[in-house]
Every structure is written in C-alpha cells, then in structure tokens.
Amino acid sequence: MTQTLRIGTRASLLARTQSGQIADLIAERLGVEVELVDVTTEGDISRAPLHTLGGTGVFVSALRDALLDGRVDVAVHSLKDLPTGAAEGIALAAVPPREDPRDVLVARDGLTLGELPVGSVVATGSPRRASQLHALGLGLEIVGLRGNIDTRLGKVTSGAADGVVLARAGLSRINRLDVVTETIDPIQMLPAPGQGALAIECRAEDTTLEAQLREHLDDPFTRAAVEAERAVLRTLEAGCSAPVGALAEIVEEADGPEVWLRAVALAPDGSVDIRRSASGPLAEAAEVGNRLAAGMLEEGAAELIDSPARRQQS
C-alpha cells in the first residue's frame, strides 16, 4: 500500500493518545504512512447525561460514519464503548493486547475504599460502579459525574468529592497512574465488559487492510476474553451503561487455553446482586458468556436490568 492510511480519532486527550499509539504501531508494523484525523462526536460536544444521547454508542457512531463515508480508513475505539450488535459494513479488524481491566479509586489524602469514612462522597457516572459501591455497604454517598478524565480528577482536587472511580487503563494511557490511591479488586468491583481493551475497525470491504491489521495487531486471547464478556451483555440484552460487570481471564490448561469468566448484575442501589462464573475452551468464548448469562437470567437478572429505577437512572 502506498497511500497514507487515515486513522480516525475523537479529539479528547485519552482518545488522541490511544489512537496515536495505535497509529504508531500501524506505521511500524504495516510499513505505511499514517495520519490522525479528528472526528467530533455528539458525546464530545454535549454535556447532557450520556443516556439521553443514546449511551456511549454516540462516541462510536460518528467514527463509523467517517469510515463508511471514506473520510478515514481506520477507527480506534475503547472497546467497552462499542454496542454489542454487529455494524453493517464495518469489520472489527483487531483487538490488541489489553491493558489492566480493573477500576481504580482516586481519593483525597491517599485513602482507599476501606479507609473512606462513612458518608464520604464518591463520584461516578456509571450505574455499574455506583451499584457495586453501594453493595460494599460502606455507607458511601454516590453522586453522578461525567466529563473527561481531567474533569473527573478535578472533583477530588477541588474537594467536591472525596473520591472518584475510573478505569485504570484510561489513566495508564495518559500517564496519570500517579493519582491512583487503590486498584479495586474485581471481587469488589467487576469491570465493564471490554474495559481496558481497544477495538480497531475498518471498512468490511477493505479485506486486505483487515487481514493486515489482524495479523499485525490482534491478540487472540484478548479477543476471546472480550467476546465472552460482551456475550454476557448481549444475552442479558443490557446496554453499555447497565449495572453489569464481567471479567474474563485466559488460563493455560493442559488441553489448551481456557476462558474463565465472572459476571454480576445488580440492582441500582446494590441491594441485590446476581453473581456467576463459568469456564470453557478459548474457541467457545462466546458460548461461555451466553451460558453464564442464561444462568443469570434464570436467577432474575432481567428484572434488575429492566427495573423502572434503572430506566430513570441510566
């Protein structure tokens, strides 16, 4: 390929940083010229709560439109922002090796969750994080929040909140792990399906480019892990902002790699949680997720996710 590959990115610091890192990898491994192209999304312009804009899918659709219009050749997304359904004309060419998928606490005075006094204010815009914080029974006051990473960290430095919960991967990519006061164990808080992973998309018709991206950038273990996690969301028919957490890990067994999957669905106030785990061969990652979610539905997970309270909240 001789022409320059145009790589679409949102304009936020996190998006530009992760797209820039992928652009460098593409240039190096595919031996092509690359150019970053800013694509503004509705989610970046509006300060309205995300659910009123159609969820985190708003970040994704503008980049996909730019791909389909031919304005860019490659799009880089945070994988957890991708809707679980397939997109017409778009190929998920590569899922690179994942960052640490866990959530972190950034709190005043170096405090951990267990050290925050009763009544401490923790800010998060995510029903998944809010419900799991409530479920810990620490008497925390959970308040809403949205905005880029700097805005969120500002809640703590300004004293508006005692702590905020964020994805570790986001802080890692922009080199701000110094502010983390606790990396939260998945036993206490399961991350969002796909958290910490990136998705590299191209037009489905660009089959040569798709094959090159896959060969040079895809990590089959990460791809299988996020397939299992996203199968949980899909089977539960839950959106990206639902109070659902899932984490798959790949374990090398004598017969080959296996997927080990844990998931939780919660009432928004954390008063009920349905928790399950399942495992199976790597090649059956999606089935492992489907099976696990089917078990959660038998235990009543649909009611939690579709409760009127949840519809109001997010």
Q: Of 81-140, which residues contact ligand PBG (CB under 6 A)?
A: 81
Residue with tokens 């080959």: 256
Q: Given the complex with ligand PBG, which of 169 and 236 has the nearer CB atom?
A: 169
Least distance (Å) between residue 167 CB and ligand PBG: 3
Please count the residues of this chain forming the interface with ligand PBG, following the rule CB under 6 A.
9
State which residue, 184 or 209, has the beta carbon closest to ligand PBG: 184
Minimum CB distance to ligand PBG, residue 197 (Å): 7
- Please state the φ and ψ torsions of residue 47, each to the nearest 5 degrees: -100, 5
Q: Of 227 and 258, which CB lies nearer to ligand PBG in the complex structure?
A: 227
**Contact call for residue 246 and ligand PBG (CB under 6 A):** no
State the CB neighbour count (10 A cutoff) for residue 2: 5
| Paired residues of 165 in beta bridges | 105
Can you tell me which of 6, 80, 128, 155 binds ligand PBG, judged by CB under 6 A? 80
Rounded least distance, CB 54 to ligand PBG, Å: 14
Instruction: Give Cα 178 to chain centroid, integer Å.
Output: 21
In whole angstroms, how close is the CB of 124 to ligand PBG at the nearest point? 9
Residue 27 neighbours by CB distance under 10 Å: 16
Per the residue annotation, which of 24, 44, 65, 81 is the catalytic one? 81
Going by the DSSP 8-state scheme, the letter that residue 193 receives in this structure is T
Contact 83, 240 (CB under 8 A): yes
196 binds ligand PBG (CB under 6 A): yes
Chosen residue from 12, 131, 195, 212 binding ligand PBG by CB under 6 A: 195
CA distance 231 to 96: 19
Part of the chain binding ligand PBG (CB under 6 A), chosen from 41-49, 76-84, 134-142, 260-268: 76-84
Name which of 193 and 280 has its Cβ closer to ligand PBG. 193
Could you tell me if 196 and 144 are in contact, meaning their C-beta atoms sit under 8 angstroms apart?
A: no
178 classed as catalytic:
no
**Closer residue to ligand PBG in complex, CB, 167/274:** 167
Interface positions, 144-183, toward ligand PBG (CB under 6 A): 166-167, 169-170
Q: And the tokens for 303?
A: 């009611």
With CB under 6 A as the contact rule, the residue among 9, 41, 78, 131 that binds ligand PBG is: 78
Do the beta carbons of residue 245 and residue 263 sit within 8 Å? yes
Beta strand spans in 179-236 (E)? 182-183, 198-203
In whole angstroms, what is the distance from residue 64 CA to residue 39 CA? 10
Q: Could you tell me which of 249, 244, 97, 98 has the C-alpha nearest to residue 168? A: 98
Rounded CA-CA distance 79/192 in Å is: 10
Q: Which is nearer to ligand PBG, 64 or 80 (CB)?
A: 80
- Contacting positions for ligand PBG (CB under 6 A): 78, 80-81, 166-167, 169-170, 195-196
Residues designated as active site: 81
